[in-house]
Amino acid sequence: MLLISLQGVIAAQQAPPPNVLFVAIDDLNDWVSLFGGHPAAKTPHLDHFASDGAIVFQNAHGAGSICGPSRSAMLSGFMPSRSGVYGNSQNMREAPLIQRHATLPEYFSKHGYLSLSMGKIFHKHSTANGTDAGQWAFDIYNPTGSGSGVDRAKVTSRNKNLIDGKPASPSKHTKTGGSEFAWGPTAQGMEGTKDYKTAAWAAEQLQNSFEKPFFMAIGLSRPHLPFYVPQEFFDLYDPKGKYMPPIREDDLEDILTPKGKQKFRASADYLWLKENDLFDEAARAYLAACSYADACLGVIFESLKKSPHHANTIVIIWGDHGWHLGEKLRYRKGTGWSESTRMPLVVRMPGMSQRQDCTRLVNMIDFYPTLIDLCGLQKNQS
């Protein structure tokens, strides 16, 4: 369990109970520099945060390889095999098992904590009463606003068959499905973007003095598709750079059906990028989106450092699963390969002053019981 890996720093906790700053980064994989995934990745704020004192979990995995199941398992404490939440279309709130038990923020709220949130923590669902974003689970919930939009003249999009805003050669690989596979600079700078606004709200809250310890859950949406981030983050990476790692074109040929036929084929994303020679550009866009998310983290970290809560706050930075970037001739997630399940996880406990790396296998299903133990709350009997 995750708790075992943190036992060596629990002794650093002091009364009053520690706060919890819980930050999710949607679709962030192990390309960020802390995890050695890509040598060109620029994530200085996360790097500095870890070097100041945190545990970097090098072998952490989601309970599912897409957003809904992985987040539902983490927030409820129940694996998909128990809750029945296997897909993004299934709302965890409708699962009978989950209905009978408090979710993670609800449990903290019921045991003396103030819970507050902005951004994506729960997977969103449309309901007859509007969007269910998990707002019901928090004492204070600030809805996520919109960003500034993208500069349409510079968009590259598989779905729309555009390259730098211009039509590409006709292709049979543009059929839509899931989020639009696209990238480009936003119409405004960083302060006009959705994730920056979320980070700024979190930074503002951290300057408050609360009567209770807090459980603050903040969700950043990038690097989730589309990779629309300010131009300054694209500029961190040479537009002519070679960012795509080597890919084996025959990597799927040894995975066969019981009848001996090849089971998997290259995805439409992969094939469209290949026919337009855009592998490096797609990798650069993902790296830019990771750097943008890191800059938003920097806003939160800087505020926490200046806040009255810095010495007594547990900080957990996590991705909800992995993300393919050409491996197995595909992009996105939703597979059983490690590229789709391995997630970034960085934890700082009060009193830590140096980086530690943990190579033990941990799973995000452990978050719920581990946080209860770390904060000294009554054990959940479920």
Three-class SS string for 129-148?
A: CEEECCHHHCCEEECCCCCC
In whole angstroms, what separates CA 311 from the centre of its chain?
25
Backbone angles phi, psi at 184, to 5 degrees: 160, 165
Amino acid at 84: G
Determine if residue 164 is left, alpha or beta; phi over 0 gives left, psi from -120 to 50 gives alpha, anything else beta.
Answer: left
- How far, in Å, CA of 221 to CA of 194, rounded? 8
Burial profile 41-58: b = 16 or more Cβ within 10 angstroms, e = fewer? bbbebbbebbeebbbbbb
Report the C-alpha gap between 314 and 242 in whole angstroms. Answer: 38
3 state DSSP class of 217:
strand
How many whole angstroms separate alpha carbon 347 and alpha carbon 315? 6
Beta bridge partners of 219: 24
pLDDT at residue 6 in the model: 56
* Domain spans of the chain, in order of start: 17-144+186-226+286-374
Alpha helices in the chain (DSSP H): 2-10, 44-53, 67-76, 80-83, 96-99, 104-110, 194-206, 231-234, 268-275, 279-306, 338-341, 367-374
The strand pairing partners of 167, in sequence order, are 162
CA distance 86 to 345: 22
At 8 the pLDDT is 47
DSSP assignment of 301-362 equals HHHHHHSTTGGGEEEEEEESS--EESGGG-EES-SSSHHHHB--EEEE-TT--S-EEE-S-E
| Inter-residue contact 320 to 257 (CB < 8 Å) | no
Give the Cα separation of 186 and 207 in Å (integer): 29
CA angle 316, 321, 323 (to 5 degrees): 130
Tell me if residue 114 falls in helix, strand or coil. Answer: strand
- Written as tens digits, the pLDDT of the chain (382 aa) is 555 555 444 544 446 899 999 999 999 999 999 998 899 999 999 999 999 999 999 999 999 999 999 999 999 999 999 999 999 999 999 999 999 999 999 999 999 999 999 999 999 999 988 899 999 999 999 999 888 889 999 999 999 999 999 999 999 999 888 899 999 999 999 999 999 999 999 999 999 999 999 999 999 999 999 999 999 999 999 999 999 999 999 999 999 999 999 999 999 999 999 999 999 999 999 999 999 999 999 999 999 999 999 999 999 999 999 999 999 999 999 999 999 999 999 999 999 999 999 999 999 999 999 999 999 998 876 6
As beta bridge partners, residue 358 has: 57
Superfamily of the domain at 17-144+186-226+286-374:
Alkaline Phosphatase, subunit A (3.40.720.10)
For residue 168, the tally of other CB atoms under 10 A from its CB is 18
Cβ 229 vs Cβ 288: under 8 Å: yes
With 0.75 as the threshold, say if the pTM is over it. yes
CA dihedral 285, 287, 292, 293 (to 10 degrees): 120
Rounded-to-integer distance, Cα 370 and Cα 152, Å = 45
pLDDT at residue 37, as a whole number: 86
For residue 13, what pLDDT is reported? 46
Structure tokens at 257: 């059906």
pLDDT at 222: 97
